[in-house]
Chain A
């Protein structure tokens, strides 16, 4: 991807502006042996920033493990884990400024927590409460979306409104590889390009949509190649390389912020675990396939790199692990406590003012529950 200089139109006299095409191979700045490579377009982030990001990867992994355990213990209804995708999660949150917006999916819990949302609030819905927990306006994080690709259009709307209101806001919208097949994905990209709004579409290509592998989803050269069809730049990045992600996403965010319009970034990563705890991946994916991705882990390569720079030693690692453990312990403690939910709340926010019909229904339930309460 090369950022086009003429933001008015990507159409050139002689035909297609091939500068919108992604690089032929995913951008990688630190390989899976922990070795850094220079790239003509993308600078290696400052090692201090990488160290801070590394700490987030460690907590992200711990959050995934903890949430999986809480599902097994019946404390969470379900958890779509981002184990193996933590570099995508962490970078999506870290490239944004406070005034920016994040539009996450069900799989992006770690990104939401990295953005600063209280984990217990993030888990509100999955622990069994009726609402999505956190206040979306507080840290500019939309509720995690389950209907696939629908949130991408909302992201475009927020960015469009921000542009009309003269706000300095960039919107980063997440989705998976499977979601790129939905009509809403295409509509969102087209709208964003036509209205030239500051949205970065960030696709985590983890090669599976539940049981369906990417090859049954799309035969495009890459998902990032779709960008040129809408007239926006596309880029591919190693989704397990935090350095490359920070650099590529950072450039796209800067570009959008400076009025350059939207971009599509595809991160090549892998879903290391089943779709959710309810899924049995052995039915459609050989274990050897998963094993191939173990050496490409986002944590181990950055660890090697940072240790090589002597930024990371046993003491720092112990500190990061202790911080992650403290976070996990607080999540555990919070979720092990039973919350009482008042069933009357079910009627409270359907409309800004409870309708007469809803008042009647709420009264029926209140009456039932009070009769239950007096029964022996």
Chain B
């Protein structure tokens, strides 16, 4: 579903050292051709490839060892790399995060899993006070090349505390890179890039997309990532669907909804462009604004409650930069400003195709045309 926009590939930030070439080769041989791959499998393969390529990459958290994580994203990693490389910790998120900081200070590249969005909150102090600040406090002498993986957001019929859109807390915290992939291809490439990044990355995995499939060649993705030819994703948005009348700006779980809205609008004769932001921080003003200047109208779509959110930030940035190209105010379709509702009620909360199209309809078409 993605259509990667043409962008200059940034230099690879950290060279990857093959530590276990045999393992890398055997997994490369196993996946040499394009097949239907789930988002979850792409993440799992990215972790395995990163661990095979660099022995300093570690994976730890709650139930990520023998169980393979409650979403099976770490499936098989303990068996393949041993319990020294992928392991369960005592049940304490602040402990996981704080220990990761220390490991990153001492030569490791920890990847930690927070079991669910809302269960990352006990680690919040470590994230905000140390993960985000330590490199700055030490004039860049202490770098924290760590990745905080968070299965996040809703749409899976989860009960309370299992569906939070927590991106705004992290995006609001200077020092954190915040990523939210929406495609299988990006799941692989962005996780590899996050692990290679010298800066700490909050990696938000939309739960409802774990089982979505795309035909990709994981072996090819591995090669293009490792030889540096894959386009960089951190700081780069993509045009997921081209259109001319208005721009839908979405990320993570809202991208498929925006794509569905664009498809429905096309049937009604309206051409909507969809931008997949994917890198919330750093934010790609250039790609987003280029699209809005072309179309003259924009709607930002996100599951998060809208007040003081990433969606609010995007609206503000677009308004500031594209004011003279706009035919209508930039609008938002977000979750309501309420706690995430129960399974049977979540459809009222989540941005829907109808709600998006209603909002698009309100973009002052008569005045503007």
Contacts and interface: CB of A to CB of B under 8 A. Distances in A.
Partners in one complex: yes
Interface of A: 77-78, 125-126, 128-130, 146-148, 178-179, 181-184, 209-212, 216-218, 278-279, 283-284, 341, 343, 346-347, 350, 355, 357-358, 361, 365, 368
B158 to A, nearest CB: 8
Given A128-B344, A212-B63, 15 more contacts: A77-B343, A128-B342, A128-B343, A147-B121, A178-B91, A182-B91, A182-B93, A183-B94, A210-B67, A211-B63, A218-B90, A284-B66, A284-B67, A355-B337, A358-B336
Given A130-B341, A130-B345, A181 B91 contact: yes
Given A125-B160, A357-B307, A365-B348, A211 B65 contact: yes
Given A181-B95, A211-B88, A77 B157 contact: yes
Contact of A184 (B122, B342, B345): B122
A358 to B, nearest CB: 6
Contacts of B81: none
Contact of B160 (A146, A357, A365): A146
A126 B118 contact: no
24 contacts: A77-B158, A125-B342, A126-B159, A128-B342, A128-B344, A146-B159, A181-B90, A181-B92, A181-B95, A182-B91, A182-B122, A216-B90, A217-B90, A217-B91, A283-B68, A341-B342, A346-B348, A347-B336, A347-B338, A350-B337, A350-B338, A358-B337, A361-B337, A361-B338
Nearest to B352: A368
B360 to A, nearest CB: 15
A341 B341 CA distance: 12
B347 to A, nearest CB: 9
* Closest 3 A/B residue pairs (Cβ): A211-B67, A128-B344, A181-B90
Contacts of B62: 209-210, 212
Contacts of B323: none
B163 to A, nearest CB: 12
Interface in B2-50: none
Contacts, number: 102
Nearest to A212: B88
A358 B119 contact: no
B80 interface: no
A126 B157 CA distance: 11
A360 to B, nearest CB: 10
B329 to A, nearest CB: 15
Contacts of A278: 70
Nearest to A361: B336
Interface in B120-152: 121-122
Contacts of A77: 157-159, 342-343
Nearest to A367: B358
Contacts of B92: 181-183
